[in-house]
């Protein structure tokens, strides 16, 4: 799909609704009340059951629920986001869409970032390098302690024979064994071989159903020689700096980590049309995100 096809396919609100309906009901429409399979679209954008008259909204229960803007604008926003290899800032997207309120676009971006985390996505497997990195500070911090103005992120990277496979990123409170093990369990499939440095926080990992290989003794974050996680961490930092000018509040970091992961894990099958389809598909699968939950400016 290129720009011309995109504009032709989504030239009306109805076309956008029908497209969402296909994504949401891949088996076709089925009335939730009487199971009938035929419906028509009303002026209020509801699917009206041809048998019993029950009306279903295709956007209820998705991130588009309660939106006051046309879906066409949402589609354009998504099209623009997936077209920019390095991501977009809220300001950049605001310019493209011509929104007057910065806050609206900021909320949209964050809703879409949440949609980038596919519900029930599988964990990493095989051989996985794991380490932590600090985001938001120049100097490397000391492990096991908090550092002012910095966030600690666990990075897990699949080792595909010296190549980076998929990644997972997870913000953690500190590098204690409890938090590290929890983050590893959320990111990596049991039975995988986890490669870490000699930090004691990873000491119990083999008791949690993982293989464990220690590559090097090291005490400080950012000092070890796990090449794949190091590369992943520097790409992440460069991206945060380049696209968002490093202006990422620790409280918003999770969203940025999700966007980076979405883009990074699809970097090889990069195609604008494919990413567009994938992001919309995920956007109709997740629960609505209340704007109040992500308010707070930039």
Q: Give me the residues that bind Zn ion (CB under 5 A), please.
A: 31, 33-34, 36, 49, 51-52, 54
Closest approach of Zn ion to the CB of residue 184, in Å: 48
- Nearest in space to 231 (alpha carbons), one of 160, 179, 183: 160
The alpha helices in the chain, defined as continuous H runs, are 3-9, 13-24, 71-83, 90-97, 102-115, 177-187, 227-244, 253-264, 272-283, 291-294
**Residue 65: CB atoms within 10 Å:** 13
Q: Compute the least distance from the CB of residue 272 to Zn ion, in Å.
A: 38
Least distance (Å) from Zn ion to the CB of residue 26? 19
* Least distance CB 24 / Zn ion (angstroms): 17
Buried b / exposed e along 228-253 (16+ C-beta atoms within 10 A) = bbbebbeebeebbeebbeeebeeebb
CB 101 within 8 A of CB 297: no
Q: Which is nearer to Zn ion, 44 or 101 (CB)?
A: 44
3-state helix, strand, coil in the chain (%, to 5): 40, 15, 45
**C-alpha–C-alpha distance, residues 176 and 180, integer Å:** 6
Whichever of 34 and 219 has its CB closer to Zn ion, that residue is: 34
Query: Which is nearer to Zn ion, 30 or 272 (by Cβ)?
Result: 30
For residue 32, the minimal CB distance to Zn ion (Å) is 8
Nearer to Zn ion, 39 or 109 (CB): 39
Nearer to Zn ion, 49 or 78 (CB): 49
**Residue 23: CB partners within 8 Å, gap ≥ 6?**
280, 281, 284
Backbone φ, ψ for residue 268 (5° rounding): -90, -30
- The distance in angstroms from the start CA to the end CA of the chain is 32
Minimum separation from the CB atom of position 55 to Zn ion (A): 9
Residue 91: Cβ within 10 Å count: 14
Q: Which is nearer to Zn ion, 54 or 277 (CB)?
A: 54
Q: What is the rounded distance in angstroms from the CA atom of residue 226 to the CA atom of residue 130?
A: 8
CB of 279 to Zn ion, least distance (A): 31
Paired with 39 in beta bridges are 49
Our CB check for Zn ion shows the closer of 51 and 213 to be: 51
Instruction: Tell the smallest beta-carbon distance from residue 164 to Zn ion (Å).
Output: 50
Which CB atom, from 34 or from 213, has the smaller least distance to Zn ion? 34
């Amino acid at each position: 799909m290129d720009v011309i096809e995109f504009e032709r396919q989504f030239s009306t609100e109805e076309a956008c609704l029908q497209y969402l309906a296909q994504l949401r009901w891949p088996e076709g429409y089925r009335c939730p009340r009487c199971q009938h399979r035929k419906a028509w679209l009303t002026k209020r954008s509801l699917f009206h059951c041809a048998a019993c008259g029950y009306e279903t909204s295709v956007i209820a229960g998705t991130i588009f629920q309660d939106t006051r803007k046309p879906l066409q604008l949402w589609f354009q926003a998504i099209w623009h986001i997936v077209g920019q290899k390095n991501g977009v800032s809220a300001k950049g997207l605001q310019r493209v869409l011509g929104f007057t309120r910065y806050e609206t676009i900021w909320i949209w971006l964050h809703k879409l970032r949440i949609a980038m985390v596919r519900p029930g996505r599988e964990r990493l497997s095989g051989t996985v390098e794991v380490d932590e990195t600090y985001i938001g500070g120049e100097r490397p911090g000391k492990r096991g302690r908090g550092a002012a103005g910095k966030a600690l992120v666990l990075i897990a990277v699949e080792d595909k024979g010296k190549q980076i496979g998929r990644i997972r990123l997870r913000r953690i409170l500190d590098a204690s064994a409890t938090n590290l093990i929890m983050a590893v369990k959320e990111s990596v499939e049991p039975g995988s071989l986890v490669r870490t440095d000699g930090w004691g926080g990873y000491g119990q990992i083999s008791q949690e159903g993982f293989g464990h290989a220690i590559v090097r003794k090291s005490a400080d974050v950012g000092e070890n020689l796990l090449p794949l996680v190091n590369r992943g961490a520097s790409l992440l930092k460069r991206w945060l700096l380049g696209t968002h000018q490093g202006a990422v509040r620790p409280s918003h970091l999770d969203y940025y980590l999700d966007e980076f992961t979405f883009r990074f894990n699809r970097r090889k099958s990069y195609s604008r049309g494919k990413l567009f389809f994938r992001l919309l598909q995920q956007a109709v699968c997740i629960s609505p995100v209340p704007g109040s939950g992500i308010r707070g400016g930039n």
